[in-house]
Amino acid sequence: MSDDDGILSDSDSEACAIGSQIRKALKRRILLDASEAKEDNNLPKRKKPKQEQVSWRDDPVESYSDWKLIVVDLSMDEGNEESVTTYNIHKCMAVSGRHCSDFLAEQFRVARIGENKDLAASTHLELAPALAESVPKLLDYIYGANLKYNLRAKEVVALHSLGHTFKIPSLQKATELICHKKMTTQNASSFYRWAASLKNDKLENVTVKYIVDHILEIDGESDLVCNGEMLLWNQILDHLDTNKLYDNQEDAQARSFDLSILFAKVCKRHIETISLFWFSEVMTDKLVLPHIDPSVAFDFCEMDETLQAKFAPEEDLSFSCLQERCARSIASVKAANKGDMAKHLGERSKAFCVEVILASKASINVIE
């Protein structure tokens, strides 16, 4: 309380002093809190622990797996226990994950309206060995994993086929993209072999188109030449665009020479399986081979005679249209380089040698 003259008493002065100290303490606390808050804002924020995603590899009980994918490997005996593999999967991941499967979604819908719930909680599939082996990679993809670029041709084709079976368009698109990026003239035959084996028409056509587009880059010792199936080479010839191949007149002859050398090596490798009709039709087709390289002309003649003897053993060897073309090719060689061919000419028929002479004279007259 104050006196009449307005002077505070001792008790009032003490109260004022305490109040002043409290106000100062509060002010310091406010400033300190503001400073600490500023420092906290400058510190890196602590990330929330990442929640582990459920996987088909997890314990089926602890992860609440609610569906079984039962795969039968057709390469094994039916009674062999190893022929059957059961994968415990989760319906929520199969239908709502990054790479959902429309096939499995249909299976779940059918099971939901089915009468026998026990039998409905699984999907049974019989798959070729290559497909069965790739199911784990398929499930990894369904559960959100991305495909690895280092997949082998077998795995790429198998996953593309599984993408079709399980109705996963993104998987088909991804594997086709990998196929385009990884394919070379060295491994194209492997892609084709697996595509044909798994009846994957899409990747089979992709492979054939690639080979046709790069046919002049094929190494004569590559797997494509040494082990490529004749069915593949038939498809290559069917899709070969000769107008595009020989569109540049300046190098058309060189391209035809290179192609004739390649075909000579292919035919040599498959001489036991090709027919005389196919051989004669293809090698005499001037649209396919407008020019035959002289270095393989004798090889073509020998193969022609071999096939004639095989398919027409009772008939005398004839001077075929192919041999006539080969003779003209040899006649085009400059005289200075014909010395190496003398031995081979001695092994040919009189008709062949006469054709070489006549063609040589004709070329000389043209030059004159």
Q: Which residues pair with 8 in a beta bridge?
A: 2
Section 54-61 average pLDDT: 92
What strand order describes the sheet that includes 67-73? Answer: 84-89, 67-73, 122-127
Section 75-81 average pLDDT: 64
pLDDT band at 208 (very low <50, low <70, confident <90, very high): very high
Q: How far apart (Å, rounded) are the C-alpha atoms in residues 270 and 285?
A: 19
pTM attached to this predicted model: 0.76
Would you say residue 267 has pLDDT above 80?
Answer: yes
pLDDT band at 1 (very low <50, low <70, confident <90, very high): very low
pLDDT band at 331 (very low <50, low <70, confident <90, very high): confident
Q: Which residues of 306-317 are buried (b: 16+ CB within 10 A; e: fewer)?
A: ebbeeeeeeeee
In the numeric block, which tokens belong to residue 331? 């006649």
In the numeric block, which tokens belong to residue 262? 């390649």
- Cα-Cα-Cα-Cα torsion 277, 321, 258, 234, nearest 10 degrees, comes to -10
Angle between helices 201-213 and 230-239 (to 10 degrees): 70
Q: How far apart (Å, rounded) are the C-alpha atoms in residues 174 and 153?
A: 14
Angle between helices 321-331 and 294-311 (to 10 degrees): 160
Gyration radius from the chain CA atoms? 40
* Three-state DSSP class for residue 317: coil
pLDDT band at 161 (very low <50, low <70, confident <90, very high): very high
CB distance 56 to 139 below 8 Å? yes
Considering only CA atoms, which of 321, 260, 327 is closest in space to residue 296? 260
One DSSP character per residue, 33-83 reads: HHHHHHHHHHSPPPPPPPPPPP-TTS-TTTTT--EEEEEEETTS-TT-GGG
CB distance 291 to 260 below 8 Å? yes
For the stretch 217-253, pLDDT in tens is 999 889 999 888 888 999 999 999 999 999 888 899 9
Q: How many helices (DSSP H) and strands (DSSP E) are in the chain? A: 19, 3
For the stretch 223-233, pLDDT in tens is 999 888 888 99
Dihedral pair phi/psi, residue 181, rounded to 5°? -75, -35
